[in-house]
Amino acid sequence: MPGQYPHGAGQAVSGGHDDSGTTGSATRRERLSWRGRAGLLLAGSMLASPLFGAAARAQAAGVSTAGLSISTIEVMQLAVFVGVTGTAFLSAIVLIRERARTSAENVELRSRVADVNAALRRSEALLNLRDQRVIVWASENKKPELVGVLPVESGAPEERAAFLAFGRWLMPRSAAALEHAIAALREKARPFDLVIESQAGAPLEVHGRKSAAHVLVRFVSLSETQRSQARLKIENHRLAADHDTMIGLLEALKMPAWLRDEHGRLKWVNRAYADAVEAESAEAAVRDAKEFLGGQAREAIDAQHKLHPVFEQSLSTVIEGDRRVFAVTDFASADGSAGLACDTSAIESIRGEYERTVRSHADTLDQLNTAVAIFDTDEKLRFFNQAFQKLWGLDSGFLHSAPDNALLLDRLRSEGKIAEQPEWRRWKEGLLGAYRAVESQEHWWHLPDGKTIRVVANPQPKGGVTWVFENLTEKMDLESRYRTAVRVQGETLDNLAEGVAVFGPDGKLRLSNPAFATLWRLDAEATKPNVHVSTIRDLCDRQAVDSPWPSFVAAITGFDDERRDRHGQTELNNGTVLRYAMIPLPNGQVMMTFVDVTDGVRVERALKDKNEALEKSDQLKNDFVQHVSYELRSPLTNIIGFTELLSLPTTGPLTQKQREYVEHVGSSSSVLLTIVNDILDLATVDAGIMQLDISEVHVDRTIEAAAELVADRLQEHSIRLEVNAKAAPKTFHGDETRIRQILYNLLSNAANYAPEASTIRLACRHLADGVEFSVHDDGPGMPPDVLDSVFRRFEPRANGGRRRGAGLGLSIVKSFVELHGGGVRIETGKDKGTTVICTFPDMPGIRAAAE
């Protein structure tokens, strides 16, 4: 089979020369071919020597060679072949050399070469008994030589370069292992025996050995049984490698992992599991059966495995004193189970924080007055706040059904809540183009109900659009009204007679009206905006007698403690009096107002002079009244005394006429004395020196004493006194003398106006905060114009009264009641009589002196 050996490695010797002794180039080619074969035979002999030695030693030890593996026998066969071939080749070389010496020897050499050629053919036949190929590296030739053949189904290409490129026809893992083994064999003489796999799926045995001068690598095809065993071996090797890789991965993970046997007992855990259960090592955790999950969690896993082999659920357990949440995945089979736990506490915390943030944002958006609606990438409504529902008046059921944006617009159009557009479809498509836009879009909607809505479509980074509907109706209305108000205020300020000037925090004039310049006699240049207050101060200081502008400047440009309201008055050189007010504004500015009060000041001065004159006149009147009253009391006392003396029988008999005169003189003197006493009492009250003698006032006794004082007058006109004190308290705090005087004046006033043979009703009752006395008569009553002056002094009333008095009775009553802290009121009407009601507070700490 000459074609199966590249470079003529397996070509017969007879193919290189003939029996006629051809020389020249053919002879040289023959010698080169023989040199190559001589090297191969020498390497074979060297490889066979140790193998034969091993076999001999085995036989010497009594070990049968029948138990040797197929691979060992094949190597031995190869060694026999190589040894025989090497021997024959060496013999051929010797014969060739001898042939050169003598022609006689050439004939012998040809004979021996023929024998060598036959031996080579027998060696080639022996080598091809099995599909195999040998790679030989000779020490003098670094390029490898290939010997033998492999079947096509092995996947090995026939070209030498393609065959030596192992990655082209071997599996990647096999190619890498083979190249690594060959490198170790050539560099370190480390022999190897491998089972590799071609890309076609055929397993091969590879043996590598190194002699003193050659490196040999043999590829051998396997039988079907050997292939199955090799595949099983490769698969086991892969499984072992995958197992080691998986175990290494699980050990490197920071997630607890475990394996259990068919009885549920731990048989392996990783380092993260041991750390989680606080074990010294993974072996200690397995030995001590430390469980990562609690009993209830394990029971849940076992219950799930009865229904399904895979358990996936979040479970909580305590790690280092903290409760954490783990995503547990556990797979169960007939031979046991395996589990993995991923700590999701941080994820759960982030998820909870995210949900709380979303709820907080939703709650915040619900509190806004601006309508907000969020649509997802499918243009479905996913969120809306209360302002959105209130703005469009849509029912919550429709909004919670997640309508798309186009349907929502159609709904608003059908209900007449948005204005009809000339080209509705194009308008809607332009609006919904926000879902394909990158930047925000702004639209203005003028609704049929008069509202103006600013619509902002803000695209979201992950798709969808956030729609913001800002109702600017009120804002625009406020802006319009604000502009109108500013114009009105400007016109108002310009037409005010009051001067107004506003200064900023920097001391510059912001605005002023013409009245300000007129009052201070300033020209138009001095009152322009941004003129500093110091310039205006210099001009105004010349106009004022005592200028207040230095304090104005300090207040305008000073600190906050100096910025306070100020009011005052200043007079100009021309006699004009200006009243000013300085008011700090919230925006840091200061407003100053100036009013011309010259006329008012003059009138005020005149009124003050007149008031002082009236006060002096009133003081003179009071002094005169007090003086006259005191001076009248002494002669009246004498008159009353002598009148009583004349009426005594011991003085002497009097005629009837004289007795009547004496009685008239006595009664007139008593009335005059009462008037004088009332005047003195009022003068004492006015002077603020009257003192009350507060004590326990017995109501019954006080009413009885006052009734005795007016009994004669009541009897004279057949007037009956009716007293109702059932609801009255027994006592209360007050000045008994003054209260008796109050009741006497009230009864006297009622007796003066009560009709003949009528009834006067005196009542007393207890109130929640004091005592109330009331006196009612059936007289003509008081008209409304009289009620305003009834308590004035020296205002006598003659509407139906029997006699005209001094007009001091009710004045005395009012003064004494108010001294007690009470009050007086009159209830009257036409033909309904008059009722005077006096209220006294029952407090022990009542004022003891008039104020």
Give percent above pLDDT 90 in the chain: 10
pLDDT tens readout for residues 301-352 = 888 888 888 999 888 888 877 888 889 999 988 888 999 999 888 887 888 8
**Is the pLDDT assigned to residue 188 strictly greater than 50?**
yes
Cβ-contact 374, 461 below 8 angstroms: no
**pLDDT tens, 766-810?**
988 899 999 998 888 777 767 766 777 666 655 555 565 555 678
Pairing of strands 257-260, 371-375: unpaired
Cα(792)–Cα(811) distance, integer angstroms: 6
Q: Do 673 and 633 meet the contact criterion of CB atoms below 8 Å apart?
A: yes
Window from 15-29, 547-561, 562-576, 714-728 with minimum mean pLDDT? 15-29
CA distance 203 to 230: 6
Model pLDDT, residue 374: 92
Q: Which of 739, 740, 730 is nearest to 766 (CA)?
A: 730
pLDDT for 33 equals: 46
Label residue 129 by pLDDT band (50, 70, 90): low
Q: Is the dihedral of CA 788, 790, 792, 798 positive or negative?
A: positive
Buried b (16+ CB within 10 A) or exposed e, 130-162: ebbbbbbbbeeeeebbbbbbbeeebbbeeeeee
Round the CA-based radius of gyration of the chain to a whole number and report it. Answer: 68
> pLDDT of 531-544, one tens digit each?
998 888 888 988 88
How far, in whole angstroms, is CA 399 from its chain's centroid?
26
Find all residues with CB under 8 Å of 605, minimum gap 6, and list them.
none
Which among 397, 411, 451, 409 has a CA at the least distance from the CA of 434? 409
Mean pLDDT computed over 98-125: 67
Cβ contacts of 789 within 8 Å, gap of 6 or more: 795
Mean pLDDT, residues 39-52 taken together: 43
Confidence band for 77, pLDDT divided at 50, 70 and 90: low
Task: Quickly count: other Cβ atoms within 10 Å of residue 561's Cβ.
Answer: 6
Reported as a single tens digit per residue, the pLDDT across 753-776 is 888 889 999 999 998 889 999 999
Give the full edge-to-edge strand order of the sheet including 834-841: 720-724, 759-767, 770-777, 834-841, 823-828
Among 808, 791, 800, residue whose Cα is nearest residue 751: 800
Could you report the per-residue pLDDT of 279-288, keeping only the tens digit for each?
888 888 888 8
Count CA atoms within 13 Å of residue 469 on its CB side.
20
Structure confidence at residue 774 (pLDDT): 93
pLDDT of residue 149: 62
Q: Are strands 759-767 and 720-724 parallel, antiparallel or unpaired?
A: parallel
Q: Residue 110: left (phi > 0), alpha (psi -120 to 50), or beta?
A: alpha
The residue-averaged pLDDT of 661-675 equals 76
pLDDT of residue 2: 36
Determine contact, residues 725/685, Cβ cutoff 8 Å.
Answer: no
Report pTM. Answer: 0.35
Could you tell me the CA-to-CA distances from 631 to 626, 627, 640 in Å, in that order? 8, 6, 15
DSSP 697: E
With a cut of 60, say whether residue 850 has pLDDT above it: no
Instruction: Please give the C-alpha separations between residue 163 and each of 59, 144, 157, 166, 184, in angstroms, as whole numbers.
Output: 38, 11, 6, 6, 20
Q: Which amino acid is it at 237?
A: H
Pairing relation of β-strands 465-471 and 371-375? antiparallel
Q: What is the DSSP letter of 153?
A: G
How confident is the model over 35-45, as a mean pLDDT?
45
What would the pLDDT profile of 475-507 be if each residue is shown by its tens digit? 888 888 888 888 888 888 888 888 899 998 888
Closest CA to 710 of 763, 681, 659, 670: 670
Reference 392, options 378, 379, 373; nearest CA is: 373
Strand 499-503, strand 509-512: pairing: antiparallel
Q: Which residues pair with 765 in a beta bridge?
A: 772
Strand partners, 127: none
| Predicted local distance difference test score (pLDDT) of residue 838 | 93
Predicted local distance difference test score (pLDDT) of residue 837: 92
pLDDT surpasses 90 at 104: no
Asked if residue 204 lies in contact with residue 196, where contact means CB atoms within 8 angstroms, the answer is: yes
Cα–Cα distance measured from residue 771 to residue 714, given in angstroms and rounded to the nearest whole number: 26
Phi, psi values for residue 312, rounded to 5°:
-135, 115
- Cα–Cα distance between 675 and 520 in angstroms, integer? 61
Q: How far is CA 95 from the centre of its chain?
A: 105
pLDDT score recorded for residue 170: 86
Q: What is the dihedral of CA 596, 599, 604, 610, to 10 degrees?
A: 170
* Tokens, residue 571: 């007079």
